[in-house]
Amino acid sequence: MGSRRRLPLAAGVAPSQLRDPARTLMTVLVSLSRSNHASSMTQRPPTTSPLPDAPALPGFSDQSPERWVAALSDAGLRPQQARNAAKQLSRAWYDDGTAWADCIGELPRAAREVAPNVLGAPAPLTISERVTAEDRTSRLLFRTTSGHLIETVIIPSERGASGGRTTVCVSSQVGCGRRCVFCETGKLGLLRQLSAGEIVEQFRQARQIWEAERGPAPPITNVVFMGMGEPLDNLDAVISAIETLCHDFAFGLSAKRITVSTVGVAPKVEEFLRRTKAHLAVSLNAPDDARRTALMPVNKRCSMAELKTALQAGLTKGRDVLFEYVLFDELNDSLDDAELLRAWLQDVPARLNLIPANPGPDPALRQPTAERVWAFQKYLLDQGVRALVRHPHGRDVGGACGQLAGTHRTQLERLAHTQGPHGR
């Protein structure tokens, strides 16, 4: 087992700042974004040769359990032994929350001897802060070994015919390079990619926290990649994390309950649809190129027509795409806009989520009145478009769409809800 390389905390952020609940999340993230923008790039290990004291092996959760079966077989275990060892390790780590050293220590002798030579330790993430909203949405702030902060949100939902579900929203990058003008995460820029193990680890810890306290509320069955980052800019890690989330030895989720949300990078859209059965959501947010480009710089290089062509090519029979459309007051929410949207959607198998804008970095981008939102939805429903309004979760703690890493004003007021570090 390789030992993890310890990297210094981000310049300008003292360890006490990360622990002190009186410091707002905003202050810490802003100072991280200022100081880390350049330095974090140099912290990223080169992709070709590892730094001398970097782990020699991929972390346990960086690869799916299937890979570990193969690796353990290659190391000399009989196929059944290898399978049993990978299964035992995965169950102990992912399901039971056993400490990693004990997971290895409890293996049968033959497996115990070879496992440390082929398996790296899982990627550690430390809970730095946790804030729970009135609707029980819980926003978790994790610190990576490189000192970066990422956010994960647990979203219970009581609605629906099935009696409700609980969803975990994970981050795929530290910050985001896509710089949509309405999104707080985009303000940070891209600080670094998350590894598959770090994505899986967000889910594992969120699930343990939820299981310990959920009571009669539904268990976690759904995952959305709608946290910090653009998942298709970190596609290999995202696909690998999905494989682990779905693997029987690990969490056994159905790919149908995983949704990956993208700004819509056309070439990557096709690749994503080819490589996984998970759902794709595309943030559309405007009914024409001019407004989409103004809101989402990705549209400059990848127009709505190219996006549609990629979707039509990649969506095989029976698959559809979920479009997300954030409604901004008097910018994209008129009935003429609804008609433009309907016309654009008509040759793509699609569902539509309408999201009344949450407060973001630009105060000029406001949420429409409830009447305007309803009129927009009704127009589309009357035209046969499957359009739902997605109500915000966790807005009072800055945990709703577009607010992650945000400068939400009520953060300080809501510190009363802070439950402090949730380490184990």
As annotated, the active-site residues are 151, 401
Amino acid at 84: N
CB-based burial, 180-204: b 16+ in 10 Å, e otherwise = bebbbbbbbbbbbbbbbbbbbbbbb
Q: Taking CB under 6 A as the rule, does residue 265 contact ligand SAH?
A: no
Size of the site for ligand SAH (CB under 6 A): 18
Q: Do residues 223 and 203 touch, judged by C-beta distance below 8 A? A: yes
CB of 253 to ligand SAH, least distance (A): 19
Q: Which of residues 395-414 bind ligand SAH (CB under 6 A)?
A: 401-402
Binding segment for ligand SAH (CB under 6 A), chosen from 14-22, 208-216, 255-263, 269-277, is 255-263
Binding segment for ligand SAH (CB under 6 A), chosen from 16-24, 50-58, 198-206, 257-265, is 257-265
Q: Taking CB under 6 A as the rule, does residue 283 contact ligand SAH?
A: yes
Q: Taking CB under 6 A as the rule, does residue 167 contact ligand SAH?
A: no
Q: Which of residues 296-355 bind ligand SAH (CB under 6 A)?
A: 324, 326, 355
The string of DSSP letters for 121-167 reads PPPP-EEEEEEE-TTS-EEEEEE-TTS-EEEEEEEEE--STTS-EEE
* Nearest CB to ligand SAH, comparing residues 114 and 183: 183
| One of 129, 198, 230, 243 touching ligand SAH (CB under 6 A) | 230
Q: Which of residues 353-372 bind ligand SAH (CB under 6 A)?
A: 355, 357-358, 360
* Nearest CB to ligand SAH, comparing residues 122 and 229: 229
Closest residue to ligand SAH in the complex (CB): 402
Instruction: Find all residues with CB under 8 Å of 231, minimum gap 6, and list them.
Output: 172, 173, 225, 238, 260, 261, 262
Torsion on CA atoms 173, 175, 180, 182, rounded to nearest 10: 120
Q: Taking CB under 6 A as the rule, does residue 262 contact ligand SAH?
A: yes
Nearest to 4 by CA among 141, 108, 113, 147: 147
Distance between CA atoms of residues 302 and 150, nearest Å: 28
Interface residue list for ligand SAH (CB under 6 A): 176, 182-183, 226, 230, 261-263, 283, 285, 324, 326, 355, 357-358, 360, 401-402
